[in-house]
Structure 1
Amino acid sequence: MDEEFKRKLAAYERGELTDEEAEEVEKDLERLEAYQSYFDETMGEESEASVDTKRFVRRGKWKARFQNAATVIGILLIGAVVMSVVTILFYGLGEESKMEAYPKAIKAAVATTKPNLEVGSSGANAVFLHMNFNGDLVKRVGAEREQVGELNGDFLLNMPNIDLDYEESHFVPFWYPEQLEDGELKDEQWERRLEQLPEGTVSELYISFTEYFSTDELLSILKDRDLMPVWFAVDTGPDLEEREITPKSPIGFPYISPALFMETEVTKKSGGFFFGVESGGGSYSVDSYGDGQKRNQDFLNMLHYMKEYEGITMDIAYRSEEDLSRDIAYIEENGVRIYGMVVTGPTKDLLKLKDEEWVGSALVGEVRLWNWFD
């Protein structure tokens, strides 16, 4: 709109134009009105198209998001199924599955290298390439077994991570007979401590012998005494010079075997992507003060099993496959020679052992209020 038209339009509004000029302005206004109508129609269509386009784009974005989410969920579900199948095959197959073998190796390592300590009630489960094994760590003081800690094991296939959470004693529990010959290591403090304890208590005692005993010999000595043997320390044949420096970490077997290599009742359970075994512990039948050969063989079976699963038991027993091979070879050649034991019972009955020639030295462990057999 130029200045001349603006001027004529203003004059038209004031009625100052001639009839001819007024008619010309009216025609121009009609043309402008036609242009405006066409413009409004065109812009309206474009505006609706723009709205439709935005709606289409928005729907496309949400559709893409749902498709991506569905793809991710599908991959996760497929991965979960694949990992579950691999888990079941890895831990569940075999004449003896790893689900049974791994806990068995752990229990053997605890039973043979931790005096008066064993794995009590326990359970294992496997899911998504991992196997978890958890159990109570228990010891016997008097007639009762009490929980003193927990065992937690996690396996990523054949890679173990095992933690024994309990208060471990730092004293040397046993001495060899050769070390006690000169009398320097004979400690009578245990006698004084037991004398100071009142009647109506039970105690735990770590005894080192002045000589070696076979299993049957030691059991016959303990028969008819009002006490209970708990764990036997077995000679594994280190050099005498090494013995004079420090005793090797003890290795031995419990009086009541965990029955790891006998037939025991095992409950299996399965479901979905999960399966497991549960065990409440067990024992097999032996003569209370005999069956030395059966006990010795069970001990050797545990050592052989630990050797087979050395990668698992090393963190518990601190014995390599080479160490275990040497221990087994010595025991098989020389027999089971016991040089110490853990025993429990009424405090005053334990004190009577001070008069026995075969008691070379002793250490008092835990003490509890009376909980002995009637």
Structure 2
Amino acid sequence: MSCQNMQHQWTKYKDGTLTDAEVEELERHTEECDECMNYLQNLLDEEEIQPVTASSTFDQEKAKRSMIRAKWRQRFTNVLTVLSAFILLWLGGSFLSAIYYSFTPKGEYLRTVDKAAIESALPNIYVQNSRTETKPFFRLQNEYTLYKEIGQEQKSVGQYTFHHLFERVTNVDKNFLNDHYNMKLSFAYPERVKKEKDASFYQKWSNETWGALDQLPEGTVSEIALSFDQAYTMEEIEEKLSSTLSSDISPVWYALDTGYEAKGSDTSNPLVDLTSSFGFPSMLELPFYEEKETFTDEERVVQLLKLLADNERTVQQIRWMNPDELQLTNRYKFVKKNGVKIYGIVLTGPTKELLKLKNEPSITYSSLGEVELWNWFTRPTQGTLH
């Protein structure tokens, strides 16, 4: 049965007494009313339509065309409704994401976490450029360009892209230049050195490093990692270096004693490389906290460990180590209790200047990283085109 509003019109339609104006009204209504369209379909199927008046243009063929148009119009309306709802939902989700990440501290907090996770894991790697993109439905994408310092120049090594849902990292895309990153730097943890049965093991490899520095020409700059006979404070490390090196050479990254370097399933490995080392850059920054607080160098490192412990899932996405061996909370507690102690550093500078550390008695192991042509000078201007 047709809808009640048009019942009288359908009666006149079957009797053939509709005027032209009533025909147009019924046609428009039928295109929009499922009930009337179905009623018309039944009439057509049963061939119950009476001959129309001469003035009427609403004949059977036109009725069929109207019904077809009505069906397509309804389909288009349904598609348009779905698309409109999707667009509104997408815009609403984008607006809510912008509010959530841009107008609250959460966006800055996540960028601080991402940066800390990268720079604490990769010796002499730091984040310089970043790009943030908020996405609908409380998603955030942070893209970071990774650099390392060789001499006085910064060298791009790749990009990390963090994907967040609320405050949870869902994935990290790692894109290194040439699709890989060479692990050339390594450290020797003091306790492992003392337990090594072959006393010449570390000395042998250190001699390789010093020999390479000796063979390199004067006009080069190098990157080396040095390990010490015990963990020292940052001030003690500075004193040792200042007595040998020129004042413009200082550590660019510190290997931090977190109490777990001699533990875990990989204790048979005599070296600590970037798969298991924890440390921090010389220019450690924690933007989320430093807008509100002032830290000493040691307090900033302790806060770094706490930040990592509070965001273990993010650290897991960065690290090449067994998640069970992260022990971030225990590492944080160890550093907070015992203070910031350093067992290794990364230096970069003129090759022959670094060679002066060869006879430093507290150095137990050294490894050679990148070597570049001489760049130990200041340019009036420089930049990069993309």
Q: How many residues align?
A: 306
Structure 1 residues 119 and 142 mapped into 2: Cα distance closer, same or farther (>3 Å)? same
Counterpart of 1:110 in structure 2: which amino acid?
I
Counterpart of 1:314 in structure 2: which amino acid?
Q
Counterpart of 1:357 in structure 2: which amino acid?
P
Larger RCO (alpha carbons 8 Å, 6+ apart): 1
Does the residue aligned with 2:217 lie in a helix, a strand or coil?
Answer: coil
Aligned equivalent of 2:260:
238
Alpha-carbon distance between aligned partners in 1 of 2:188 and 2:225, rounded to the nearest angstrom: 10
Counterpart of 1:245 in structure 2: which amino acid?
S
**RMSD of aligned residue pairs (Cα, Å):** 3.1
Alpha-carbon distance between aligned partners in 2 of 1:93 and 1:299, rounded to the nearest angstrom: 28
Instruction: Describe the superposition over 1:20-57 as per-residue Cα deviations: whole angstroms up to 9, x where unpaired.
Output: xxxxxxxxxxxxxxxxxxxxxx8998998233223322
Q: Structure 2 unaligned runs (5+)?
A: 1-50, 379-386
**Contact in 2 for aligned 1:102/1:312 (Cα 8 Å):** no
**Residues 1:168 and 2:185 aligned together:** no
Counterpart of 2:61 in structure 1: which amino acid?
V
**Residues 1:206 and 2:225 aligned together:** yes
**Contact in 2 for aligned 1:233/1:338 (Cα 8 Å):** yes
Structure 1 residues 52 and 183 mapped into 2: Cα distance closer, same or farther (>3 Å)? same
* Structural mapping, 1:102-251, within 5 Å: 102-129=110-137, 130-157=139-166, 158-166=168-176, 167-170=180-183, 173-181=186-194, 182-186=199-203, 187=205, 188-223=207-242, 225-226=245-246, 227-238=249-260, 245-246=268-269, 247=271, 249-251=276-278
**Contact in 2 for aligned 1:154/1:161 (Cα 8 Å):** yes
Alpha-carbon distance between aligned partners in 1 of 2:332 and 2:221, rounded to the nearest angstrom: 35
Structure 1 residues 264 and 223 mapped into 2: Cα distance closer, same or farther (>3 Å)? farther
Structure 1 residues 93 and 142 mapped into 2: Cα distance closer, same or farther (>3 Å)? same
**Contact in 1 for aligned 2:229/2:364 (Cα 8 Å):** yes
Shift of 1:304: 0.7
Alpha-carbon distance between aligned partners in 2 of 1:322 and 1:141, rounded to the nearest angstrom: 29
Counterpart of 2:63 in structure 1: which amino acid?
T
**Contact in 1 for aligned 2:185/2:367 (Cα 8 Å):** no
Does the residue aligned with 1:245 lie in a helix, a strand or coil?
Answer: coil
Does the residue aligned with 1:163 lie in a helix, a strand or coil?
Answer: strand
Identity %: 30
Instruction: Describe the superposition over 1:255-313 as per-residue Cα deviations: whole angstroms up to 9, x where unpaired.
Output: 12234355469xxxxxxxxxxxxxxxxxx99xxxxxxx822211111111111122222
**Contact in 1 for aligned 2:109/2:288 (Cα 8 Å):** no
Does the residue aligned with 1:373 lie in a helix, a strand or coil?
Answer: coil
Alpha-carbon distance between aligned partners in 2 of 1:312 and 1:362, rounded to the nearest angstrom: 31
Shift of 1:331: 1.4
Does the residue aligned with 2:340 lie in a helix, a strand or coil?
Answer: coil
**Contact in 2 for aligned 1:134/1:151 (Cα 8 Å):** yes
Structure 1 residues 303 and 43 mapped into 2: Cα distance closer, same or farther (>3 Å)? closer
Does the residue aligned with 1:228 lie in a helix, a strand or coil?
Answer: coil
**Contact in 1 for aligned 2:126/2:146 (Cα 8 Å):** yes
**Residues 1:343 and 2:343 aligned together:** no
Stretch moving more, 72-81 or 111-120: 72-81
Counterpart of 2:328 in structure 1: which amino acid?
L
Alpha-carbon distance between aligned partners in 1 of 2:162 and 2:267, rounded to the nearest angstrom: 36
Instruction: Describe the superposition over 1:87-121 as per-residue Cα deviations: whole angstroms up to 9, x where unpaired.
Output: 23543464x22x11212101011121211111111
Counterpart of 1:199 in structure 2: which amino acid?
E
Structure 1 residues 303 and 338 mapped into 2: Cα distance closer, same or farther (>3 Å)? same
**Contact in 2 for aligned 1:205/1:343 (Cα 8 Å):** yes
Shift of 1:332: 1.8
Stretch moving more, 168-177 or 322-331: 168-177
* Among 67, 71, 75, the residue aligned to 2:77: 67
* Among 91, 108, 117, the residue aligned to 1:100: 108
Structure 1 residues 171 and 93 mapped into 2: Cα distance closer, same or farther (>3 Å)? same
Does the residue aligned with 2:377 lie in a helix, a strand or coil?
Answer: coil
**Contact in 1 for aligned 2:124/2:253 (Cα 8 Å):** yes
* Among 312, 315, 321, the residue aligned to 2:314: 312
Shift of 1:151: 0.9
Alpha-carbon distance between aligned partners in 2 of 1:321 and 1:81, rounded to the nearest angstrom: 43
Counterpart of 1:231 in structure 2: which amino acid?
W
Does the residue aligned with 1:173 lie in a helix, a strand or coil?
Answer: coil
Alpha-carbon distance between aligned partners in 2 of 1:183 and 1:334, rounded to the nearest angstrom: 31
**Contact in 1 for aligned 2:223/2:369 (Cα 8 Å):** yes
Alpha-carbon distance between aligned partners in 2 of 1:93 and 1:346, rounded to the nearest angstrom: 46
**Contact in 2 for aligned 1:108/1:260 (Cα 8 Å):** no
Structure 1 residues 48 and 310 mapped into 2: Cα distance closer, same or farther (>3 Å)? closer
Structure 1 residues 156 and 211 mapped into 2: Cα distance closer, same or farther (>3 Å)? closer
Q: TM-score, normalised by structure 1?
A: 0.73
Does the residue aligned with 1:203 lie in a helix, a strand or coil?
Answer: strand
Counterpart of 1:206 in structure 2: which amino acid?
A
Instruction: Describe the superposition over 1:224-269 as per-residue Cα deviations: whole angstroms up to 9, x where unpaired.
Output: 723231111111223857686235511111112234355469xxxx
**Contact in 2 for aligned 1:141/1:367 (Cα 8 Å):** yes
Alpha-carbon distance between aligned partners in 1 of 2:316 and 2:75, rounded to the nearest angstrom: 51
Alpha-carbon distance between aligned partners in 2 of 1:244 and 1:57, rounded to the nearest angstrom: 79
Shift of 1:73: 2.5
